[in-house]
C-alpha cells in the first residue's frame, strides 16, 4: 500500500493555502463572536453602574439628611453632623465605584478563547512544517 499523495506539488500547495485561508476565516469569526460577547459584558457593566448612580442619588440625599438629623439629635453641631453624613456617603460611593471598576478591568474583557485557539493553531502549524 502506497502512502504517497498522487497530487502535484502545486495542488498540495493550493490545498494548503485553502485550508490556511479557511482557518484564518474561522479564527476571525471566533474573534468577532468573542469580542461581541465582551462588548455585551462591557455594556452590561456600564448599564449597571448607570442604574446604580441613578437610583443612588435621591436615596443618598434622603439617607444623608436623616443621618445628619440623627447626629444633631445625639448632640452634635449641625455642621459636624452634615460633615459626618458626607463622609458616610463618600464611603458608599467608593464601594460602588470599586465594584464597577472591577467589572470593567481590561483583563476581564480580553478574548481568551480566541487567543488560546490562535496559540494552538500556531503550534499545530509549526508541527506540520
pLDDT at 65: 93
pLDDT at 38: 85
Q: Is residue 4 part of a domain?
A: no
Can you tell me whether residue 30 is helix, strand or coil? helix
Residue 72 lies in domain = 10-117
> Cell numbers 471598576 label which residue?
101
DSSP state of 75: T
pLDDT in tens, 75-123: 999 999 999 999 988 898 899 899 988 888 766 667 778 778 878 877 8
Q: Is residue 107 part of a domain?
A: yes
Q: Is residue 127 part of a domain?
A: no
Q: Is residue 2 part of a domain?
A: no
Is 5 within 8 Å of 12 (Cβ atoms)? yes
Q: Is residue 125 part of a domain?
A: no
Task: State the total domains in the chain.
Answer: 1
Enumerate residues 6+ apart whose C-beta is below 8 A from 86.
Answer: 64
Q: Is residue 124 part of a domain?
A: no
C-alpha cell belonging to residue 86: 458626607
Residue 70: pLDDT above 70?
A: yes
Number of neighbouring beta carbons within 10 Å of residue 71: 19
pLDDT in tens, 24-58: 888 888 888 888 888 888 889 899 989 888 887 89
Give pTM, 2 decimals: 0.41
Q: Is residue 69 part of a domain?
A: yes
Q: Is residue 1 part of a domain?
A: no
Instruction: Tell me the HSE value of 118 on the side-chain side, using a 13 A CA sphere.
Output: 12
Amino acid at each position: 500500500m502506497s502512502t504517497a499523495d498522487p497530487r502535484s506539488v502545486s495542488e498540495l500547495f493550493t490545498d494548503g493555502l485553502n485550508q490556511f485561508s479557511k482557518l484564518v476565516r474561522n479564527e476571525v469569526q471566533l474573534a468577532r463572536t468573542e469580542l461581541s460577547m465582551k462588548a455585551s459584558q462591557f455594556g452590561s457593566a456600564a448599564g449597571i453602574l448607570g442604574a446604580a448612580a441613578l437610583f443612588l442619588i435621591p436615596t443618598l440625599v434622603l439617607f444623608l439628611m436623616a443621618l445628619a438629623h440623627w447626629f444633631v439629635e445625639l448632640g452634635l453641631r449641625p455642621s459636624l453632623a452634615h460633615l459626618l453624613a458626607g463622609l458616610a456617603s463618600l464611603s458608599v460611593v467608593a464601594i460602588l465605584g470599586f465594584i464597577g471598576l472591577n467589572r470593567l478591568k481590561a483583563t476581564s474583557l480580553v478574548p481568551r478563547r480566541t487567543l488560546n485557539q490562535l496559540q494552538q493553531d500556531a503550534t499545530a502549524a509549526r508541527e506540520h512544517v
